[in-house]
Structure 1
Amino acid sequence: MREFDYERAHDVTGAVALLGADPDARYLGGGTNLVDLMKSGVERPARLVDVRELPLDRVEFTRNDGLRIGATVTNSDLAAHPDVRRHYPALTQAVLAGASGQLRNMATVGGNLLQRTRCGYFTDLAKPCNKRVPGSGCPAVEGEHHNHAILGASAHCVATHPSDMAVALTAFDAVISYETADGPGKLPLAEFYLPVGDTPHLETALPPGALITGVTLPAAPVAARSRYRKVRERASYAFAIGSIAAALDVHDGVVREVRLAFGAVASRPWRARAAERALTGGPASAEAFAAAADAELEAARTLPHNGYKVPLMRNLVVAMLTELTEEAAR
């Protein structure tokens, strides 16, 4: 591991200034991803700016009855917060599915959003990877890719985004707040993660040196009737091979509102807009749910060993929406 300097920030302005003074610096939250990448040599920061003590550790209602979640709120505190559990249950379920209790106690909301892919080629310095070394190639396309992307990928990168939390946040139109040396800014989560294209090393739209300060969830009554389900290769804590955040409002057998987001199928959380459009105003039936899933997955482009994700996601959509429909009828 490369030697590095360590400094603890005591206010947001000071943290941004510390990072701005050193282009090789990185913000340190819980370190559950960054430290691993430092150990493997993927990340080699010259300085770590510890932001854990910044006053960004609260979950509170906004003026418009949404929720604002501070960037240093731990995953454990987020999952356990009564307002999150009551108004956004899929978010609680996603966080609990994401990691063990020990990791949740350390990991922060801001860091979770910025965690990097677990693609084996990315983490292996002996292998080429366009995300790690632009222009070096993507061996996953012809190599090991059974858990890689089927939506929105390119010939330059087929890695998936690992966050469970970000999938639920995507379903509920979260907005990211950040601070830079030029002042504060905001980004809808739908615009936060960049498309892969031919620049997979550019992962987010955050300005250089920006510090995430929080996440705002707009008020969404439908979110109170939501669930998150994660499919993985072992029951213990593992990264998803497919996941879904779903919320559904049904009245007299008709879908009034639906939210769907997929995980582990793209380089970013995938909002299933085509499926939502197909369902809204139509019948809440298994046949309609399957047709909506097919409309979304029509864009899938599979590789030889990850085609199973198409029926997997189709079945997840049908199962989750059927369960939510039956729950609403009770």
Structure 2
Amino acid sequence: MQTFAFSRANDIQQAIQAGAHASTAQQGAEVRYVAGGTTLIDLMKLDVERPSHVIDINHLPLNQVETTPDGRLKIGALVRNADLATLPEVQRNYAVLSQALLAGASGQLRNMATTGGNLLQRTRCVYFRDTHTACNKREPGSGCPAIDGYNRNLAILGVSEHCIATNPSDMNVALMALEASIVIHGSKGERQVPINDFFLLPGDTPQRETVMEPGDLITYVLLPKPQQGARSHYLKLRDRASYEFALASAAVLVTLQGGNIATARVAMGGIATRPWRSQEAEQALTGQAPSQALFDKAAHALLADAKPQRGNAFKQELARRCLVQALTEATA
């Protein structure tokens, strides 16, 4: 780990100004905010992340969950994963989020990890985490050895010739199905970004994973007002029962009317370069009676553009089964 400057911010504007000032004073050097540090500190130890300035934001007033006047749920960026998962209102109205959070990491990590940090979680691709190998995400233009190398855990959707790394988060898959919005503060003020626009595909710039700009700070996550009668389920398939990343996961949210699926939202994790929302699967489900054949049809629609590699081709069938089972549970 290289040496770095360390400071503490006591309010949001101070944090943003410190980030902007550090970027200017250090001629564009990398600046990082730290809260739980469950990803950042690991990557700093590996020399993957090498910030010159780290700003502690744990003293910011962003650790509350509240209901807005229009019925939305406002989640502070510093709310810990364990607290959010066990909040009665989340378990009651956004069960898929609670299930996803509890499926992630371990109890100890959930006690530290934050909502904002989880949104910015980096990939677990072994080449990204090994500075002795090439990686376009870490060093643009150096190549992607994962394509012809070890890729069992990597993506089959949203890939490019430059990167096939997966987004590792469970929480983000549920937030995608819930159509969350991300509130970001920066030097140009505050903006709200729909989560579907927050994450970027790798394309030819795999080093850019989100729309975040230097000095930007995530302050809140907004969840829409709960859908009346909605049923949801999160299913995670992995190599072991705990403390493991998904090989495939599914977050589904449906409403039923007259025996048919009136509305459907489908997102998957573990198989794509970003949390993967599938409008094709949702269109296949809407207006139809739940059945195994229908769920298979939705899964095939979701996976139609899959581009598996030699080591992860099994994910096509695994993802199909994962989605079918999640929809079965949600509509039972």
Question: Which of 126, 131, 156 is matched with 2:137 structurally?
Answer: 131
Tell me which residue corresponds to 1:62: 68
Q: Secondary structure at the match of 1:49?
A: strand
Q: Which amino acid aligns with 1:310?
A: Q
Tell me which residue corresponds to 2:4: 4
Structure 2 unaligned blocks of 5 or more? 24-29
In 1: Cα distance, 2:142 partner to 2:172 partner = 28
Deviates more, 1:154-163 or 1:180-189: 180-189
Question: Which of 185, 191, 195 is matched with 1:189 structurally?
Answer: 195
Alignment check: 8 A CA contact 2:162 2:203 kept: yes
Question: Which of 298, 304, 322 is matched with 2:328 structurally?
Answer: 322
Alignment check: 8 A CA contact 1:179 1:211 kept: yes
1:324 is displaced (CA, Å) by 1.9
For residues 261-290 of structure 1, the C-alpha deviation after alignment (integer angstroms, 9 at most, x for no partner) is 000111110001100011101121111111
In 1: Cα distance, 2:230 partner to 2:4 partner = 45
**Aligned positions of 1:70-219 closer than 5 A:** 70-219=76-225
Task: Call closer, same or farther: CA 1:108–1:223 in 2, change over 3 Å.
Answer: farther
Q: CA RMSD in A?
A: 1.1
Deviates more, 1:213-222 or 1:113-122: 213-222
Alignment check: 8 A CA contact 1:223 1:247 kept: no
Alignment check: 8 A CA contact 1:98 1:237 kept: yes
1:52 is displaced (CA, Å) by 1.1
Deviates more, 1:317-326 or 1:104-113: 317-326
1:223 is displaced (CA, Å) by 8.0
Structure 1 unaligned blocks of 5 or more? none
Alignment check: 8 A CA contact 2:138 2:207 kept: yes
Tell me which residue corresponds to 1:278: 284
Alignment check: 8 A CA contact 2:233 2:327 kept: no
Alignment check: 8 A CA contact 1:88 1:224 kept: no
For residues 39-94 of structure 1, the C-alpha deviation after alignment (integer angstroms, 9 at most, x for no partner) is 00001111110111100111111222121100000111111111111100110011
In 1: Cα distance, 2:270 partner to 2:39 partner = 17
Work out whether 1:44 is the aligned partner of 2:50: yes
Higher share of residues assigned helix: 1
Q: Secondary structure at the match of 2:127?
A: helix
Q: State the identity as a percent.
A: 50
Count the aligned residue pairs: 326
4+ residue segments displaced more than 3 Å: none
Question: TM-score when scaled to structure 1?
Answer: 0.97
Alignment check: 8 A CA contact 1:250 1:284 kept: no
For residues 106-158 of structure 1, the C-alpha deviation after alignment (integer angstroms, 9 at most, x for no partner) is 11100000010010000000000000000000000000001111101011000
In 1: Cα distance, 2:253 partner to 2:210 partner = 26
Alignment check: 8 A CA contact 2:229 2:255 kept: no
